[in-house]
Amino acid sequence: MNRLLVSLLALCALVFLGGARDPILVPEVSQHQINLQQGFNGTDLLLFGAVLTPEGSRAAQDYDIVVVLKGPTQSVVLREKQKVAGIWVNAASTELRSAPSYYAVASTRPIADIVDEKTAAIYELGLQWLQLSPIGAIDPEEQARFSAGLVARNVDAGLYREDEGGVSVSEQVLYQARIRLPSQVPIGRYTAETFAISEGRVVASASSEVEVRKLGIERAIADFSQNWGFAYGLLAVFVSVGMGWLAGRLFALV
């Protein structure tokens, strides 16, 4: 009798503990390679996947899902225009060591409702939590102004985006988010990260990579212009002189 009770308790404990264990996250991206070539006019990237309990069954509770697509970071100079003597000129600047060239975040609910500020800052969830690493000591107020400026500028350019409610979860298992990449996406290796969040805690995360690259003739032209500048210049001159001359000849016949 006692032994039965003990084993029953043990089973209960196992189930209980098992329930508290981290869920399994199976993420996938619709395209692992994005090719910039003729006809490319931006694309939608689908980040989707499944959240399961450790036993592999459907989750008993709702998880919040946050997906982040981040382009390669770069060191940039951020300049701010101010009105000097009646005209707008670049008057102030700051250097940022790790500005993402592209950043998109989508979530099931507003991020402020899902996690507290500390967690959001640690995982860089949301445009206001980007870690830009300014170079040199500037005061926090100025830093905040510049960060907001960079974000506003890149949101306008379509390179930074935040979509609260952009992740939909069906049957507590399958989630999906559609993220827009505009035609001017920078090339490089992107990371797509997925976070499952429960009660303000990131309980599971997984990441995969997406490569954005130029392909075919576009890549050839870009490489040519970078590696053989002189020959590329000659080609451009040849094309322009040739076209001008040809047009003159053709219209002389008309």
Partner 1 sequence: MDVYLPIANLSVNGFVIVGLGALTGILSGMFGVGGGFLTTPLMIFYGIPPTVAAASAASQVTGASVSGVFFQSRRGGVDYHIGTVMVVGGIIGTGIGALLFRLLERIGQIDTVISILYVLLLGSIGGLMAKESIQAIRAERSGKKIAAKKRRHHPMVASLPMRWRFYRSGLYISPLAPLLLGCAVGILTMLMGIGGGFILVPAMLYILGMSANVVVGTSLWQILFTTIATTMMHALTTQAVDIVLASMLLFGSVTGAQVGSQFAQKSSPVKLRLVLAVIVLLVALRMAFGLTYIPDDIYTVAPL
Closest separation in Å from C-beta 90 to partner 1: 4
Residue 101 Cα distances to 17, 35, 87, angstroms: 42, 17, 29
How far is it, in rounded angstroms, from Cα 215 to Cα 221?
A: 10
How far is it, in rounded angstroms, from Cα 151 to Cα 96?
A: 13
Q: 14 or 245, CB closer to partner 1? A: 245
Q: 115 or 150, CB closer to partner 1? A: 150
Closest separation in Å from C-beta 221 to partner 1: 4
Closest separation in Å from C-beta 81 to partner 1: 5
Closest separation in Å from C-beta 106 to partner 1: 23
Q: Half-sphere exposure (CA, 13 Å, Cβ side) for 205?
A: 13
Q: 4 or 250, CB closer to partner 1? A: 250
The Cβ of residue 41 has, within 10 Å, a number of other Cβ atoms equal to 6
Which residues of the chain form contacts with partner 1 (CB under 8 A)?
36-42, 74-81, 83, 86-90, 93, 95, 99, 146, 149-150, 152-154, 156, 183-184, 186-187, 214, 217-219, 221-222, 225-226, 229-230, 232-237, 239-241, 243-248, 251
Q: 58 or 81, CB closer to partner 1? A: 81
Q: 8 or 220, CB closer to partner 1? A: 220
Pairing of strands 174-181, 103-107: unpaired
Instruction: Report which of 123, 133, 120 is spatially closest to residue 73, judged by C-alpha positions.
Output: 133
